[in-house]
Structure formats: structure tokens, C-alpha cells
Structure 1
Amino acid sequence: MEEIVNKVAESSLEVFDLEDYFPDNHVVELDISQWLLEGFLLKEKDFREQLKNFDWSIYEDKYVGITCATDAILPAWTFALVAVYLNPVALKVINGNLEAITIVWYEDILSKVDYSSYKDKPVILKGCSKKQVPQAVYTLAIQKLMLHAKSIMFGEACSAVPLFKRK
């Protein structure tokens, strides 16, 4: 019997896996409807009082997306006021949902990655995530990888789709 050889393991192929940078509990969504009367009506005095008495420390060192889960019609200053309370404790605050703040997380993380190990090598941008990596993050990642890699494929080594090849 012939020995089975793992040609992928022996190749210079590098895998770039976005799950390695997944934020886990560092990225959260804050739904402000919890401070609205019946989830819809903003009574300014009550709203300000609830914000003042809220324990903001739970958002310490987190990326926070401020959202409203209901179809409440809110004054333009609402999200800005919540951001005033979040800013001293959170790492980053945006007006957006969990996906939007996750993309911001990845923008920051991918700008700090050392891509030198991918220099002039074939790279697989790993697909088939077990975690919810937003689709937009793959677009961010390929733009970074294109500056370094010889070629980029998407997916898994056994069934990769070619995306880029340096000329």
C-alpha cells in the first residue's frame, strides 16, 4: 500500500482565517428601547434619569453598537446622548447593530495584523466559518492580503475558488 501524502501540508500555502480574530464577547449591541416607555416612547426626563442610574461598567473595554429594536421615532440627539455615557468606558461606540460594530472591530484588528508571513505566498482566505463573520469582512481582508500574497483563493484547501493572482 502506498503512503498517503498530505500535499496541502507540504505546500507553501498559507491559510488566513478570520475566525482567529473573531471578537467573541468584545463586541456587543446596546438596545435603547429598554429605556423607552413600552419600548416606543421617549420621555426625556425619565430617559435621562435611567441613563444616569445605569451601570455602564458592563461595557468597559468593549466595542458597542447602539441600536433600537423597536420602530420608535426618536429625536436626533438620542443616540448621541447614550454615546456620552458609553464613551468613558467603551473602546469604540457607533450607531449601529451587532453586525456593523463587528465590522468596525475587524477594520481595527485587520489594520494591525502583520501580513509579512503571507509575502509572495499562495494564501487561502478561509471560508466556511463556524462563527458569524460578516460578509463585508472578507472584502476587507482580501484588500489587505492582496498587498502581500502571490495568489489568494477562497474556501478550503480541498475546494478553493481562485480570487487573485499577482501578475
Structure 2
Amino acid sequence: MAEEIINRVANSKLVTIDLEDFYPSGRRVKFDISEWLFEGLLLKEKDFRQQVKDHDWSQYKDSYVALGCSTDAIIPSWAYLLLSTQLNPFAKKVIVGNLDLLETVLFSEIITKLNVEDFTDKPVIIKGCANKSIPQSAYSFLIEKIQPVVKSIMFGEACSTVPLFKNK
């Protein structure tokens, strides 16, 4: 008589967290301010304000926008603030920086709001493989959030994990 195969992983209290499940949907846009500068380097206020006035901001509806400059121009802070005032009614999020920083900010906000109650006194596996771009900082944010309440933290897949933390 064959022995019954028992899936110990499925029957355990293990909780797997896949940061890809939290990935916010929406278009990511890098808005390069250099295109609105004289010769890509000099901000002329009157011309810049006219560009802002004439631009169709509705095209950024439900997008995540990273404001930046691809040239070595020195951009006054008010310029980014002015762009933000136009984007805020449409975009889901606006930051000054690159797309990597945008993803980091998004995950920081998501993890800050994460309810850790479901992880209390449980062994947790943080899934490592993702098809979407998850910033490395997101994993650190997650550990900072869950470590005070979990029994243990592992990284990888249920069949092959790397232990990171065990609550004593």
C-alpha cells in the first residue's frame, strides 16, 4: 500500500509575501524638462510658463510621473513645483527624480500602509522572483515593517529559502 504524500508546506502556517502582488498598475512617465529649456540648458521663465499653459496635462491621467532633466541645466525648484501643480489633478503620483526613484516612493507608500496583523507570530517567506521591476529598497522597507511582529523571515520560494531572521 502506497503512503499518502503530505504537503507540509501547504499545511504549515507559512505566509508568503510577493511584492509583485502590490505593484501599482498604471503608466510610468519620465517627464524631461530639458525639452522646454532654451537650447536644453536655460530656463526662460516667460517661455517656460507659456509651455506649461499650452501643454495638454490630461494625457497624464492615472499615470505615475517622474519629473527630471536629462541635461546638466540648473533648474529652479519652482519650475518642478509649477509642473506638479498642473500634473496633480491628473496623475496618480508625481515625484522629482527618475523612474527608479518613482518605484521606490510607490513601494514605500504601499508598505507603510501594509497591515501586519496577518503576519503576527508567523513564519514569513518574502518571494524573491518577480516579473515586474521591484526596487531593492522595497524588500528592506518590508522587512522593517514586518520584523517586529513575525516569528521568522525567509527569502526565496517555499521549496528553497534563505533564512534571514528568527524571533527569539
TM range (shorter): 0.7 to 0.9
Amino acid aligned to 2:156 = G
Identity of aligned residues (%): 53
Q: Secondary structure at the match of 1:160?
A: strand
- 1:33, distance to aligned residue in structure 2 (A): 2.3
- 1:141, distance to aligned residue in structure 2 (A): 0.5
Residues 1:98 and 2:123 are matched in the alignment: no
- 1:62, distance to aligned residue in structure 2 (A): 4.3
Q: 1:147 to 1:63 in 2, by over 3 A?
A: farther
- 1:146, distance to aligned residue in structure 2 (A): 0.7
Q: Does structure 2 retain, via aligned residues, the 8 Å contact 1:59–1:89? A: yes
Runs of 4+ in structure 1 deviating by more than 4 angstroms, as ranges, are: 1-4
Q: Which segments of 5 or more consecutive residues in structure 2 lack a partner in the other structure?
A: none
Name the residue aligned to 1:65: 66
Equivalent residues in 2 for 1:120-159, closer than 5 Å: 120-159=121-160
Q: Secondary structure at the match of 1:130?
A: coil
Q: Does structure 2 retain, via aligned residues, the 8 Å contact 1:36–1:47? A: yes
Q: Which moved more, 1:15-24 or 1:40-49?
A: 40-49
Residues 1:7 and 2:8 are matched in the alignment: yes
Q: Deviations over 1:10-47 (max 9, x none)?
A: 21111011101112316543222232345444332221
Q: CA RMSD in A?
A: 2.2
Q: What TM-score comes out, normalization by structure 2 length?
A: 0.85
Amino acid aligned to 1:121 = K
Q: How many residues align?
A: 167
Q: Does structure 1 retain, via aligned residues, the 8 Å contact 2:19–2:134? A: yes
Q: Deviations over 1:69-108 (max 9, x none)?
A: 2333333432222223223433443211111122221122
